[in-house]
């Protein structure tokens, strides 16, 4: 019974009724949790037109900064979007 209730709650999302048109994310590092959150936003915000993402790559920890940046941006661009008007921009 508890598992069924949990699945029902996961299926309900208040974001689908939000009228958000612009989303700005700063300090995005491409972690699994961040990617999951972005997937949720892009999959539920029906009015979303613009997503501005500030990608943060730690130069001290990663010698291959350009490849990491490309992996992060590529993963975001591949996420499905409920809004056909949604464009993702990076800064």
Q: How far is CA 36 from CA 2, 27, 61, 62, 72, in A?
A: 24, 15, 23, 22, 13
- 91: tokens are 């800064």
The Cα 73–Cα 20 span in angstroms is: 22
Q: Give the global pTM.
A: 0.79
pLDDT (tens digit, 9 = 90+) per residue, 7-51?
A: 545 566 788 889 999 999 999 999 999 999 999 999 999 999 999
Q: H/E/C letters for each residue in the chain?
A: CHHHHHHHHHHCCHHHHCCCCEEEEEEECCCHHHHHHHHHHHHHCCCCCEEEEEECCCCCCCCCHHHHHHHHHHHHHCCCCCCCCCEEEEC
Contact 80, 48 (CB under 8 A): no
pLDDT of residue 58: 79
């Amino acid at each position: 019974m508890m598992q069924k209730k949990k699945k029902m709650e996961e299926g309900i999302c208040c974001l689908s009724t939000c009228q958000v048109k612009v989303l700005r994310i700063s300090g995005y590092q491409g972690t699994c949790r961040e990617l999951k959150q972005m997937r949720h936003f892009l999959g539920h915000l029906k009015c979303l037109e613009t997503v501005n993402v500030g990608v943060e790559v730690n130069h001290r920890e990663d010698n291959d900064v350009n490849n990491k940046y490309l992996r992060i941006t590529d993963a975001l661009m591949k996420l499905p979007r409920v809004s056909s008007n949604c464009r993702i921009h990076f800064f």
